Amino acid sequence: MALDIKSEIASLFNQHADYLFNFAITRVNDEHIAEDLVQETFISALRNYASFEGKSKASTWLIAILKNKIIDHYRKKVREYKKESIDQLASTEDFFNTKGHWRKEQRPQAVDFSADQSLNQEEFYVVLQKCLTGLNDLQRMAFVLKHLEDVDTTEICKELQITASNYWVIIHRAKLQLRKCLEINWINV
């Protein structure tokens, strides 16, 4: 019986490891961590294979395990940043003047995508990945949980052990930096 389970997990690994790695790398932005998370996913799958009822596809089950591993990773990381003050995070002074208005050189630029111009999604994700590396870990964690993992804001605050107002400051600053990076590396290329 144990040999059959190991054989089945090996088969699942061969079928889904690359997809799981790609899923993880876009969320943690580090190849070694992504590899570790995928490995932990398959170890967990091996340990819990008997509880897999087959009500969903194996790939869906594995992604659910991986999502939990990613959230666990963020929980561990946030402990390192718990002492980090919100004041130490990237400032918005680069984007706004003292009255809170956009600085002329930092205003969002108009984007005109014509109907015949196709956006290559794969290229976009490469640029997004690059831009995510420019965020500090707390900003990246908050952004990834909210916009890639679709985690509820209340849950993110709980997971990252921050207040709702701190969350909104962090996510606002992350979006400002991502917007600027995407304008430079994607929109204005």
- The answer to whether the predicted template modeling score (pTM) of the entire model surpasses 0.85 is no
- For residue 50, what pLDDT is reported? 79
Q: What is the CATH number of the domain that holds 127?
A: 1.10.10.10
Residue 24 shares a structural domain with residue 90 = no
Residue 74 shares a structural domain with residue 92 = no
Residue 102 shares a structural domain with residue 46 = no
Q: Is the pLDDT of residue 87 over 50?
A: no
Residue with tokens 């090996």: 10
Cα torsion 156, 134, 70, 22 to 10°: value is 130
Give the model's confidence band at 21: pLDDT under 50 very low, under 70 low, under 90 confident, else very high.
very high
Residue 95 shares a structural domain with residue 73 = no
Domain boundary among the residues 81, 101, 133 is at 81
Q: Is the pLDDT of residue 188 over 80?
A: no
Residue 74 shares a structural domain with residue 130 = no
What range does the domain containing 45 cover? Answer: 2-81
Give the model's confidence band at 154: pLDDT under 50 very low, under 70 low, under 90 confident, else very high.
very high
- For residue 116, what pLDDT is reported? 37
Residue 24 shares a structural domain with residue 114 = no
Residue 57 shares a structural domain with residue 39 = yes
Instruction: Render pLDDT for 89-118 as a digit per residue (tens, 0 to 9).
Output: 445 556 666 666 666 666 666 555 543 344
Residue 112 shares a structural domain with residue 174 = yes
Residue 96 shares a structural domain with residue 179 = yes
Residue 59 shares a structural domain with residue 95 = no
> What is the distance between the alpha carbons of residues 10 and 111, in angstroms, rounded to a whole number?
47
Residue 69 shares a structural domain with residue 161 = no
Average pLDDT over residues 17-42: 90
H or E segment to which residue 17 belongs: helix 2-28
Number of domains in the chain: 2
Q: What is the CATH number of the domain that holds 9?
A: 1.10.1740.10
> What is the distance between the alpha carbons of residues 81 and 128, in angstroms, rounded to a whole number?
23
- Residue 140 burial class via C-beta count within 10 angstroms: exposed 0-12, middle 13-18, buried 19 and up: buried
Domain boundary among the residues 81, 116, 147 is at 81
Residue 125 tokens read as 């994700």
- For residue 93, what pLDDT is reported? 59
Domain boundary among the residues 81, 104, 136 is at 81
Q: Is the pLDDT of residue 7 over 90?
A: no
Cα torsion 28, 31, 34, 39 to 10°: value is -170
> Are 131 and 178 within 8 A, CB to CB?
yes
> Are 90 and 139 within 8 A, CB to CB?
yes
